[in-house]
Structure 1
Amino acid sequence: MKNLYRRSILRMILLIFSTIPLISNAQTEQDALMMPERNLCVAGIAGYNSWTNYWEGKFKRVNENIGRLSTRYGMLMLSYGLKKNINVMASVPYVSTKATQGTLSGLNGTQDIGLFIKWRPIQKKLGNQDISLFGVGGFSAPSDNYNIDFMPMSIGLGSSVLSARLILDIQRNHFFSTLSAGYMYRGNVEIDRPAYYTTRQINTYEVEMPNAGNFQLRTGYRSKKLVAEASLSNMTTFGGFDIRKNDMPFVSNKMNSTNAGLEAKYYPFSQTLGINANVWQTLKGRNVGQATGYSAGILYTVNFKSKTSLK
């Protein structure tokens, strides 16, 4: 009866995934959470963000030609506990953009497929503190040939990315702090024109993409039923150039941002079915919009280990 109930819930969630755009923040490559061995989390969330003001270089301004630029997105994520200290993760998002004014049409489509491996080599207890160290390796690439030369309406940068991240997590009772730093090596991209201008004329289809770093601090409360946290994150592009005065953004611009956010995951009945919600805002940036965003989603976990043990 219990297995029948679990299969019914799973079919219902898969039906929801097939009818509305969902995304989820279950265990991700940036947090200090791990799926138990032989557990699979299927996760989805629907999300939205928008902005009217943006930074043209360091100068903050409003672009009345496009009004409010909004992005709706949905992502399906899978996270599997290969071993108790090794997780593998996959994600694929669907993104659509829209402007409230002007003649620029929004774009939509699947964006970049991501694959990640999270490894926890160190987990120690020192007094009342639990200390864990994680290493994360990842690769993402465009899932479709979407238009990257139509910023800010483009749904992505179109670059293949290799990433590496270190995560340090310290928990005392139910309170924790997590510090992480990541580096993203971006492959070059091609645009549908034989020349373009950055700070000089470049006569080629190929655009050299700047690499980037991400730094993040999370702190909050963590238990079996509830994870509630505040976060501060920074994205810094190592290279690139500023948007020229009254010009459109370009795919290889320097794009820096500092965001603050709140997030919660709650499992009301058991670790099988959970809900997730977050809200965030861009505090400071360079060649990006001052965006505010939010999302909500569903998490469902299948324990293959317990099924095997019942046989």
Structure 2
Amino acid sequence: MKKHLLTLTCLCYLLFSPKISFSQTTQDGLMMAKKELCLVLNYDKESWNKYWEGDRLRDNPNIGTFTSRSASFMAAYGINEKINVFAVLPYIENEASAGTMTGLKGVQDLSIAAKYKFYTYKKLRFYGVIGASVPVTDYVPDFLPFSIGLHSKTASARLIIHQLLPHGFHITAQGGYIARSKTNVDRTNYYTGNEIEYSHEMAVPDQVSTSLRVGINKKAVLAEAFIDNIRATTGTDIRRYDMPLPANKMDWTRVGLFVTWHTPIKHFSVNGHFSHVVAGRNVGKVEASYGAQLQYIVDFKKKK
């Protein structure tokens, strides 16, 4: 196994908990070797006490400080040198420090993806990624920000460009589109801010995802700084002093850093990551999101 093969980070696109949603390797320029299986345990925690109501930043004494915690199991496998497949399943707990509303918790959505390295020119690499997710439990989507997800099926496609630079540095740019199905809500009608909809189905906006990453890979350490951006293609703003809806337009920009240490124990790595939301619309202003994960590689190649 090459020591720079894999760095995974749990992700889930949650309203008011704008985390990155799927494993980090679906957004980077690294590939696992053939017949290698990476097993990952991930923990994340983030909190906010202000949120954007449309473009207006405000607080809410009925929520206080909102905290989201997630634990995820992830797996990634190298089918060959050009194709990797991934799966992740998160368990999420959401709660608030004030008010009378009870937080929610449970298993969220199963996400799968495949990554294909389709072109290489010298130190420039091109990758394509396709993915999908589906809810695996009957959680409530229309109780935001406490809902653990939007209970919406997704399909996504992404292009990644990865450039190797001198002295172990690299730069990675990616852009993708996330299509989302409607979600079912426990009401016969609802007001979006523009009109009354007489239906138990609510449209969840599609999203455009972009990111830029700059990193260095040296011996036992891989470090990378990133800026991620999500823009909803449609949607409405949260009405003044009202609860959010799955149909709201959710935008955010997040900056952060993650570091992976490949320990002296063969095939075992430890990762730590931190991020901060610098801009948004209808999402929480996350001041600090941090997490850690344990990674272990199982090599199925026959020993010579």
* Length-normalised TM-score, structure 2: 0.90
Question: Where do residues 125-274 of structure 1 align in structure 2 (5 Å cutoff)?
Answer: 125=122, 130-173=123-166, 174-198=168-192, 199-223=194-218, 225-269=220-264, 272-274=267-269
Kept in 1, the 8 Å contact 2:274–2:289? The answer is yes
Kept in 1, the 8 Å contact 2:22–2:111? The answer is no
1:298 paired with 2:291, answer: no
Q: Which runs of 5+ in 1 are unaligned?
A: 1-23
What is the CA-CA distance between 1:206 and the residue it aligns to?
0.7
Kept in 2, the 8 Å contact 1:27–1:35? The answer is no
The structure 1 segments of at least 4 consecutive aligned residues displaced by more than 4 Å after TM superposition are 24-27
Find the residue that maps to 1:32 and give its secondary structure. coil
- TM-superposition CA deviations, 1:209-238 (whole Å, max 9, x none): 211011000001024522101000100000
- TM-superposition CA deviations, 1:100-139 (whole Å, max 9, x none): 00011000000110000000011231xxxx1110000000
Find the residue that maps to 1:28 and give its secondary structure. helix
Find the residue that maps to 1:83 and give its secondary structure. coil
Larger radius of gyration: 1
Q: Which residue of 1 aligns with 2:32?
A: 35
- TM-superposition CA deviations, 1:178-226 (whole Å, max 9, x none): 0000100101111111111102111110111211011000001024522
Find the residue that maps to 1:71 and give its secondary structure. strand
* Length-normalised TM-score, structure 1: 0.88
Q: Which residue of 1 aligns with 2:18?
A: none
Cα 1:271–1:89 change in 2 (3 A) is farther
Find the residue that maps to 2:150 and give its secondary structure. coil
- TM-superposition CA deviations, 1:38-71 (whole Å, max 9, x none): 0000011111000001000000011111100000
- TM-superposition CA deviations, 1:283-309 (whole Å, max 9, x none): 00000000120000100001111xx23
Tell me how far apart the structure 2 counterparts of residues 271 and 212 of structure 1 sit (CA, whole Å).
39
Tell me how far apart the structure 1 counterparts of residues 220 and 110 of structure 2 sit (CA, whole Å).
30
Kept in 1, the 8 Å contact 2:113–2:132? The answer is yes
Provide the identity percentage: 37
Tell me how far apart the structure 2 counterparts of residues 186 and 25 of structure 1 sit (CA, whole Å).
15
Tell me how far apart the structure 2 counterparts of residues 121 and 150 of structure 1 sit (CA, whole Å).
42
Query: Over aligned residues, Cα RMSD in angstroms?
Result: 1.4
The one-letter amino acid paired with 2:141 is I
Q: Which residue of 1 aligns with 2:48?
A: 51
1:276 paired with 2:265, answer: no
